[in-house]
Amino acid sequence: MSLLAGLLLTPLYYLTFALSLLVFHPIQVITINFGGYELHKKSVGILNSILVRSLFLVGAKMHFEGFEKLPHDRPLIVVSNHQSFFDIQAFVHGFNNWHPKFVSKIELGRGLPSISYNLRHGGSALIDRDNGRQAVTEIIKLGKLIEVNKYAVCIYPEGTRSHDGQVKPFQSAGVKTLLKAAPSSLVVPFVIDGHDKLMKRGYFPLEFGVKLNYKVLDPIEPGTSTGEEIVKQCEMLIKRELGQI
C-alpha cells in the first residue's frame, strides 16, 4: 500500500516542487531588485515553507524542535549531517528567523531555478572544491557577513550526501575558517533524520508516510576548544542522536 501511494503521489509532489521553483524565481528577481535584501529574504522564506509543506503530499510527518535554544544576538554556525537535497529546504525553513546562509559547492550556483539564484544573491558562499584558495576566500567573506549581521550559516562537514543515513566522517576545515572569520559565533549541531528513508528507493518513488525529524541540539560555546575538537563533538552528538553510536 505504501509503495502504491508513493507511485501515485510522488509525481504530484515533484510537479508542485518544480512549479514552486519556477514561480518564485522571477519573484526573487523582482523582490531583490525593487525591495532589497529584506523583501528577497521574505520571498525565499515563503518558497521554502511551501517546499517543506509540500512533502505532506507524500504523507510525510515533519517535526522541528530545539529552536527555542538559539539566541538572536549572535552569529550561528550550524553543523549538520547531510542526507539529501531535502536538507536545504529544511534548514532554510527552520532557521528562517536567523537569515539562513550556506557553504555550498559552486556547481549549485547555476542551472536550478530559484535555488541557484538565492545561493548567488542571498549571501551564501559558493566554493570550488578544486580551488582551495577560492574556497577559503569565499568562506571568510561569509564568516565576516554573519559576524556583523548575526546571521546563521549551515555547513555540511561530511562534504557529500549520505544516502543510507550513516554519518560520514566530518571534515573540520570549513568550520575552522568560519570560526576565525566570525569569532563570536555559537556552534549549533543540527540533526536531520528521515530523508534517507524518504528516498530509500531513490528519487522515485518517494516512500509514503515517513517521519522527518529536524532537531537543534544544545549549542556549543567554542571557548578555547580547537576547530577540530568542536567538529568532532558535533559529529559525535549527531551520531548519538541518530542511534549510530
Check if the beta carbon of residue 205 is closer than 8 Å to that of residue 215: no
Residue with cell string 550550524: 78
CA–CA gap between residue 145 and residue 124 (Å, rounded): 9
Q: pTM of this prediction?
A: 0.95
Distances in Å between the Cα of 229 and the Cα atoms of 32, 102, 209, 232 are: 39, 22, 38, 5
Check if the beta carbon of residue 70 is closer than 8 Å to that of residue 187: no
Residue 245: other Cβ atoms inside 10 A: 11
Residue 205's beta-bridge partner residues?
none
End-to-end alpha carbon distance in the chain? 33
Looking up residue 106, the CATH number of its domain turns out to be 3.40.1130.10
Check if the beta carbon of residue 94 is closer than 8 Å to that of residue 214: yes
Question: Exposure string (b/e) for 16-33, b if CB count within 10 Å is 16 or more?
Answer: bbeebbeebbebbeebbe
In the chain the beta strands, taken as DSSP E runs, fall at 61-65, 76-80, 100-105, 125-127, 152-155, 186-193, 211-216
CA–CA gap between residue 130 and residue 99 (Å, rounded): 28
Distances in Å between the Cα of 54 and the Cα atoms of 1, 188, 203, 206 are: 21, 27, 15, 13
CA–CA gap between residue 230 and residue 131 (Å, rounded): 25
Distances in Å between the Cα of 217 and the Cα atoms of 44, 81, 211, 225 are: 25, 12, 18, 18
Q: For the chain, how many structural domains are there in total?
A: 1
Range of the domain at 131: 2-241
Distances in Å between the Cα of 199 and the Cα atoms of 64, 81, 239 are: 20, 16, 20
One pLDDT digit (tens) per residue for the chain, 245 residues: 678 999 999 999 999 999 999 999 999 999 999 999 999 999 999 999 999 999 999 999 999 999 999 999 999 999 999 999 999 999 999 999 999 999 999 999 999 999 999 999 999 999 998 999 999 999 999 999 999 999 999 999 998 888 889 999 999 999 999 999 999 999 999 999 999 999 999 999 999 999 999 999 999 999 989 999 999 999 999 999 999 98
